[in-house]
Every structure is written in structure tokens, then in C-alpha cells.
Structure 1
Amino acid sequence: MKSNTPTFVIELPLCVNDQQNRFLTQAFELGRTLYNATLGSALGRLQRMRESLPWRQTRSMPQGKERSKRFSDLQKAYGLTENGLRTIANNHRKASGRNDIGAHEAQCVGRTVWRALERYMFLGAGKPRFKSYRQGLNSIEGTDNREIMFKPDRQSIVWRKQVMKLMIPDTSYFKEALADPIEPTQTKRIKYCRIVRRTLNGKKRWFAQICLEGMPPVRKIYAPKSEVMGIDPGPSGLAYFHPQKAGLVRVAPNVDMQEKAIRRLQCKIDRSRRANNPDHFNADGTAKPSPTSWKISRRMEKLQVKLAEHHRCLAATRKRDHGELANFLLQRAGTIKIEKNSYRSYQRNFGKSTTRTGMGTFVSHLKRSAERANSQVIELNAYELKLSQYDPATDTYRKKALKERWHRWGETDILVQRDVMSAFLACHVTEKGHDRTRLLNEWATAEALLSDSGLCRHELRNDQGTSKEVPRLTSPEVEKPKERVRSLSRTLCAKSDVKPSAA
């Protein structure tokens, strides 16, 4: 039976010898073939189900409970359920005659196939693809702590009689994470373990993820839910407003995309590909459609490894910065109100800025962190509230151009930074929308707070009744988290030719 208790993960590197490395490589290759075999069986059953007469008759029925029930019965009849695919994967394992992977791991492979097929069947996602030999399978897990077992007393992972040592840090955090809160001498219940394969600087590395029951140790002191904050995300940063503090923050400030270095690597890879495959290109330089195979030289492989390592370092740095900023916000407010935006639209309109910051990923990270910290993130309806257009002083809406970065408070000479003004409105939004009386009462305190931060200024209007041209806000004092750690790009790119980003 599926457990609904809280779960957190501890990831530790594995120290393996040559024999264990070969065993893991063979096991992951078997997992890949099981995945492809299960996916092929599932796609074949799906096609036969959709070509059957009962399915076509059910499709022509009017929508309702009877139609949904008949569809569900057809899926069960063809084995297109999670349990059905888990059984198929285990049957493929038995037919292979190999014992590199047990029944529990094969069932988890079937569950992974079901999740991909479910998105394709119901959510309109693309057709699931088979995993190639070069791509491979990157993780294998068990259903409990019986196949891939974590032994705390031996500080190792035991899988198929292979004892692999864990590189466990001697820190109080790890000891506190393993200890049971009721009986400190006992360890928490281990739900299951997962083996993960990653490529670091072109070399395969193995890690173990231990999934424990309960909540992780508290490293930060988070604010209660009674503390409310409003934030307004942008393509490269966000504005936040709390009754006691407000400011502008850059998202992922330590990420340096280094477009020139990426472009040079991509040009070298393209020249090598064209030199090794002259028959795959037309006379005008365009690639011929659907080439059978590509020749890849060793030089090209090394260049691809450098490019992949560079992007991996950027992703690790971005994730680290997202965690710092999420903790920074949750330490000041337990309830965060944010405007619901389309981050896919951010990618289309602000390509480079969104690629560097990953605003959509940060919002997802913030939601997960808030749920773990017993806080909440409330998404506001942007079409109804129109935070960037509303003026509480006149109770009117005025659409602003994107280049207009300051908001004039009514007919006065007060100018407020546009994003901070949206965060101020989001902070005081009620279930019924904008409460103008409350906003006017809170503005006296907010004006003094924003004036001290340089986010509010006074400027007279001109004779035509419009404000004079105001330069963009470039450098109010950007608030950053106090705790700073060494840049990951400096550490992870030490052996790469790409220059690491500055901390």
C-alpha cells in the first residue's frame, strides 16, 4: 500500500571498485532494455485498444460517467494501468534470464513507463521515446528497503550481494537526519533507496539517494504564516514587499552564461561534425534530411563533454542560488502572495534573461520549500487584479508600457518603483480583490519604508499633466542573502577550459 507520510531524501556519493562499477553498468543497461521493452509493449497495447470496435463505440458516446467507466474498463482489459505495466516489466525481466535486477526494481521501471504513458494518454504530452544506448537509464530504485538496502551500521549500500561503501560526512546534520525524533538511538524508517548515475566532467559517478520517513532537520528558522509578503517576479529578478522590509532581488546572481565560450564550443562541434560527415550536407551547407548515422570523432566527443559540463555547472549554480533566495523569503514571511504568470511567455519574450535566471524553476522551488516549511504560496489571478495597472489613490486602472518603470501615486508628485508597487498591492490583496481603504491606510507606513530604500521619490509633474522622463531604476541597493557560499561554477569547472563565474 502506498505510504502518504512525509519523505525527504539524503544523497551521498558511492565509493565503488572496478567490479562494482561493472556490475552497476550492466544493471543499468538491463534496466534500459526493460524500459524499452515495457514501453514497446505498452504502445502496442494502446494502439490495439484504440483500433478496437469497443473503444471506437465508447469514443462516440456523450461525455459522462458511463463513458468514463467504459474507458476505464477497456484500459484494465488491455493492461494499461500502473499495476499492469509493473507486471509486464517483471515478466520481461524473468524472460531475460538475468539476475542483475530484482523484481522490485523491475516494477519501479514499469511504474516509470506508466507515468510517461499516462501523460501521453490523458494530458496531451508527446509520445514517449525509447532510451538509446548513449542516453541510458539514469536511476534505479526499489519499492522498499529490501532489494537496494541501506545499512547504517556498515555505512554502505547492499544490492545483489554487492557491498558499496558510502562517503558519509561527519556532520551533525547527517546524524540528526538519520536519528529518530522519539528514540534518538534508533534510525528513522527507510522507505526505499535509489541508485543514481551522473556524468561529471565526462566521467560516470554513482550516488545513492536514501529516502527517509519524516521531515528533514531544520536549518533555517522560518517565519509564521501570519507574516505576509507580496512578490512580483520578472524575467531577471523580483520585487518583494513586507510591512517591515522591501526591495529588489536578482534571481541567480552568480550564474554567468558566458555566451561567447558556449558559441565557440558549438562552432567547433559543428566544424568537426561537417568534416566527419561531408555526405550528410548539401552544397549550400544545409543538412540533408534523415541521415542514417553520424560519425563522431574523439575530438568531437571531448568538445561535447566540455559543453555538457559547462551547462551542468550553470544548472548547479542556478539551483544553489534558487535555494538561497527561497530561504531568504521564507525567513521573513510564512505567507507569500505571487502573481500567477506564464513563464513559457517569459521564455518567448525574454529569452536570455529567463535562461539565466530560470524564473519558472525558482517559483516551483519556492512552492516546494514553503510546503516543507509549513508555509504557503498563494497565486493571484493576474487578469482580475491587474497589479501593474491599479492605482489605489484614484481607484482606476491605467495600462503602462514596459519601459515605464515608475508608478505615479494618483495626482501627487510621488513616484514608486513599478515592480515594488505591484508587490505592495499583492501583499494586501484580499479574497474579494483590492481593498482600497486598507491600501490607503497602509500607504503612510509603506511610503516611509520605500523612501528609505530609494524605491520611492518625489518629482513634480510638467505642464501637460504628465510626468517628466524618469531614468530606469538601475541600482537601488539589491538585497541578497547574508549567508554566502563559494560559487559552484568555480569548483566544478576547475578542470574545464571555460572560465568560472565570479562569486
Structure 2
Amino acid sequence: MANFIVEFPLKTEKYQEDILDKRFEIGRQIYNSLVNVTQKRYKEMIKTKKYRTLLSLLTGNKKCDKEIWKQINDIRKQYGMSEYSFHEDVKQMQKHFKDNIDSFTAQKIATTLWKSYDKLFYGNGNKVYYKKYSELNSLEGKSNKTGIRIINDTLVWNGLEIPFIIDYDNYYEYQAIQCDICYNRIVRKYVRNKYKYYVQIVFKGNPPVKVDTETGEIKHYIGNGDVGIDIGTSTIAISSKSDVKILELADRIQNIENQKQKLLRKMDRSRRATNPDNYNENGTVKKQGNKKVIWNKSKHYIKYQNELRELYRKQADIRKYQHECLANYIISLGNKVYVEKMNFAGLQKRAKNTEKNDKGKFKRKKRFGKSLANKAPAMLLTIIDRKLGYYGEKLIEINTFEAKASQFNHFDGTYIKKSLSQRWNDFNGIKIQRDIYSAFLIMNISDDLKSFDIDKCNERFENFYLLHNLEVNRLTGKKNLSSIAI
């Protein structure tokens, strides 16, 4: 069953905020204690010859590796590396803090740590980290029957009773609060140099339909038909029967990015002035061997640190808002949304090999880490998939290596590899922007998700080319990203 989340601000008193802060800190300490316990078991497990041998036998073929994975999981269970083992571990810790943290909330802390190990086991993470002071800013329960509960528009949790603010004039909030509650989450956010507290209620079912209060019309709806999207590190091309677009992802965060750069330079100057003994003559940080470098922070530095924290919050909020709006637009174009399967984690990694260009200069090893962090294309795809799920649909990923949308020419069925700098396709005088054409091809993928349906391409090309030219005319004369090349 689908769930949806609505966030409400808590109407807290000062003493209640102090209690919540104390509980967030206790939650952090429980998490770190659990990391300490589980890391010892994990290190012992990876030392065993049998475990390392089984990992080396994995081929990447699911059918062939099925028996090997079964043996690996058995070893993990023997060493207590499972979610239920973590729940048993946290039970011993929670009883010392039962006046503040209930058992269900403690289990959710353990589940959060298990997710980190899950990523580590399946190659999506490098290490399990401890949480620094004030890093844990959310605590959640498992149901609305015990622990963190909502009773009559009030948050009730271990002696705390905090009302939350509901805008009953807001049709969406009014309809949402009528739904059944799955569980609740308390969130702490640092807003304008002060912590603010919210409750996020996870409701069962699909979210209510948003309605324009003035006209009474439905704000968001799902379209009918095929939609192809070609998503990059900072842009997205969209193709459908009714519209063609190429857009910069989260274009409103660039101004904040410029502010961040200025603030980081201020912080660096302040840190250097306050800690001159930590730097060499050439400006690099001195290596202290096994000793930890101690950094003193001036009042100005702490002030800049808080300003930077506020900018990160603004950037995250703007990015999420723009992605939500773009996702609503994309699903309004059609109910079958296709995208190439992307490995964004691979694009973030630095190049391993040191290479030189034609002029003999070393090529940069940096790739797209900063761009991906700012634009968060993977987040957009997750949001699209979630919104499609409300209508019984899902985001359809096509086989990138089999289809090769950036190389294919549907006019003659040939594949031509192009350099990244080549942003336009020329088909006997018909010039089409590369990313938009890829989105068009993805829209016309065959049922096998590996090849393109030539009949669909020929049938839909005339309409696509007309919409393509309208989009090119819209962007001509504007300041666009170099990757758009218009």
C-alpha cells in the first residue's frame, strides 16, 4: 500500500524544546553505541577466510550466485549482522533511557543503522560512519498505537504533549488529516540560527488531490501516453506527443551556490588567521601523523558556519520544491514514463588512471560529483516514480547499453558513436539537438526495452520535429548551459 507524508509545525514551549533536544542527543548516542558494537562483529566476520572466499566467487549473475548469496547471508546471521540482531542489541541500550526513548523508536534507530550496512554489503557504500554532535535530527516510531503518537491534533510521546498547527482552510491538509496514520516522525531543522520542530505524519494510502481554491479545478493530474526523458548531470530533455522540452535541473539554486563560494572563502581566511601553526609555508595543512589536528574557531568563523548551514537548508528546500514541480509536469504529459538506467554513483567517482591530453597536460580526475550534488537528478527520478505509484504506474528504465539512444539514427537504423562535445545531430540537413533526440527515441522504445520501435519513430517524428523547433526558438537568445548548446 502507498503512503504519503505531510509535515506540520509543532507549537513548542521552551522546556519542551529542551526535552526534544535531549532525546535527539540520546538517540545519537544509542546509534553510535550500536555502531561500536556492530563494527566489532563486522570486522571479525570479514576476517574469516570462508566469507572472503565466497565474496570472490560472485560472478554478478543472479542465477549462478543464488547459492553463494545464501551461504554469505548465513554467515552474516551467525555474526549477528541482520536487522533483527540489531533490534536485540538496541533493546539492551534502550532500557537505560526508557523515560526518554521508547522501544519502537529505538528499533527504528537500529533499522537506520542496518540500512547503512545494507548499502555497504551490496556495494553502494564504503564505510559505516558515526554521527557527530547535532547530526541526528529525526526520530520516528513504528505505529500510531504506542511511542510517538498523534491524539486529537496533539503529539504525545513519553510524557510530552505538544500541539501541532493544522491549516484547516488548506484543503490538502484538511483532507490528509482524515486519513489513517501509519507512523509519525519528529524532525528538528536549523532555520535562521534557531532550531524549529516539526512532526511528519506518514498516512496510509494515496495523497488527497490538490484543488485550486479559487477555481475548484484539480491542480495536478496524470496524462495518457508515452513520455521519454533523457536526464544528465545538470539538464533534462523531455519528449511527449504534446510537448518537447530541454531544461536545466533546479536552475534557481545557482545564485545560492555563488553565495556559498563567497562564504567558504571567508571561512578559509578566518580559519587560516586563527590557526597559523596548522599550515605550512606553502599554505597546505601540516601533517600531524597520528595526532588529530586541533582547530580553533573564532566568533566570526562560527557566525559564517551558521550562515553556511542556512544556505544549505535553503538550497535543499528549493531543489526539492523544483523537482516536485517538474515531476508533476512530466507525469501530466503521459502515464508511461521511460528513462535510461543511470549509474549516478559511478559518475561521481574520480577517474582512477592518470592521463595526458594532446598538449601533454594532465587531464583532471574530477568528474561530475559537484554537479550531481547540486542538481540531484537521482532525487528527481525517485520523485517521479513515487508520484506515478499513486496511479498504479512506475518509472520504466530501459537498457542503456543495448538501446544506445545517444548513438542511434532511426532514419537508417545505424549506430554512430559521438563525442560529448557534439551536441547536435545532422540527418541530411535536419538538425536536432542531441539530448532532445535521445528523449524522443527513449519515448519510442520497444516492449523489450532494448531496441527502438522504428514504426513509432517514423509515425511520431513530424509532430516531434515541430515541437523541437518551437523549443529551440524559445531558448534561442537566452543564456543557456553549454551542454544545451542553444
TM-score (normalizing by structure 1): 0.79
Change over 3 Å in CA distance of 1:442–1:455 after alignment to 2: farther
1:99-498 matches, within 5 Å, as 99-123=99-123, 125-133=125-133, 135-145=134-144, 146-151=146-151, 153=152, 155-170=153-168, 171-179=170-178, 188-219=179-210, 220-224=219-223, 226-290=224-288, 291-344=292-345, 349=367, 354-409=372-427, 411=428, 413-432=429-448, 433-451=451-469, 453-454=471-472, 475=478
**Contact 1:222 1:333 (C-alpha < 8 Å) held by counterparts:** no
Post-superposition Cα deviations, 1:349-374, rounded to whole Å, max 9, x if no partner, equal: 55665554332322222222222333
What is the one-letter code of the residue matched to 1:378? I
**Contact 1:29 1:136 (C-alpha < 8 Å) held by counterparts:** no
* CA distance in 1 between partners of 2:53 and 2:236 (Å): 52
What is the one-letter code of the residue matched to 1:280? N
Specify the structure having the higher radius of gyration (Cα): 1
Q: CA RMSD in A?
A: 3.1
* CA distance in 1 between partners of 2:347 and 2:48 (Å): 43
Matched, 1:91 2:109: no
* CA distance in 1 between partners of 2:228 and 2:247 (Å): 13
- Could you tell me how far 1:383 is from its partner in structure 2? 2.4
* CA distance in 1 between partners of 2:479 and 2:256 (Å): 25
Change over 3 Å in CA distance of 1:38–1:235 after alignment to 2: closer
**Contact 2:278 2:293 (C-alpha < 8 Å) held by counterparts:** no
Post-superposition Cα deviations, 1:425-448, rounded to whole Å, max 9, x if no partner, equal: 222221352233442233344344
**Contact 1:87 1:110 (C-alpha < 8 Å) held by counterparts:** no
* CA distance in 1 between partners of 2:41 and 2:116 (Å): 15
* CA distance in 2 between partners of 1:450 and 1:423 (Å): 11
1:466 aligned residue: none
1:18-37 matches, within 5 Å, as 18-37=14-33
Which moved further from structure 2: 122-131 or 310-319? 122-131
Q: 1:7 aligns with which of 3, 6, 10?
A: 3
What is the one-letter code of the residue matched to 2:87? R
**Contact 1:417 1:455 (C-alpha < 8 Å) held by counterparts:** no
* CA distance in 2 between partners of 1:450 and 1:310 (Å): 37
Percent identity for Structure 1 against Structure 2: 29
Q: Name the count of aligned residue pairs.
A: 444
Change over 3 Å in CA distance of 1:28–1:350 after alignment to 2: closer
What is the one-letter code of the residue matched to 1:174? E
- Could you tell me how far 1:169 is from its partner in structure 2? 1.5
* CA distance in 2 between partners of 1:116 and 1:328 (Å): 33
- Could you tell me how far 1:69 is from its partner in structure 2? 4.7
What is the one-letter code of the residue matched to 1:37? S
Change over 3 Å in CA distance of 1:36–1:172 after alignment to 2: same
Which moved further from structure 2: 235-244 or 10-19? 235-244
What is the one-letter code of the residue matched to 1:415? K
Post-superposition Cα deviations, 1:283-315, rounded to whole Å, max 9, x if no partner, equal: 332112353422112221110111121122122
Post-superposition Cα deviations, 1:380-413, rounded to whole Å, max 9, x if no partner, equal: 223222223322223323333434433233x3x3
**Contact 1:228 1:333 (C-alpha < 8 Å) held by counterparts:** yes
Change over 3 Å in CA distance of 1:377–1:260 after alignment to 2: closer
- Could you tell me how far 1:378 is from its partner in structure 2? 1.7
* CA distance in 2 between partners of 1:249 and 1:53 (Å): 52
Q: Which secondary structure does the structure 2 equivalent of 1:267 belong to? A: helix
- Could you tell me how far 1:417 is from its partner in structure 2? 2.8
What is the one-letter code of the residue matched to 2:435? D
- Could you tell me how far 1:339 is from its partner in structure 2? 2.4
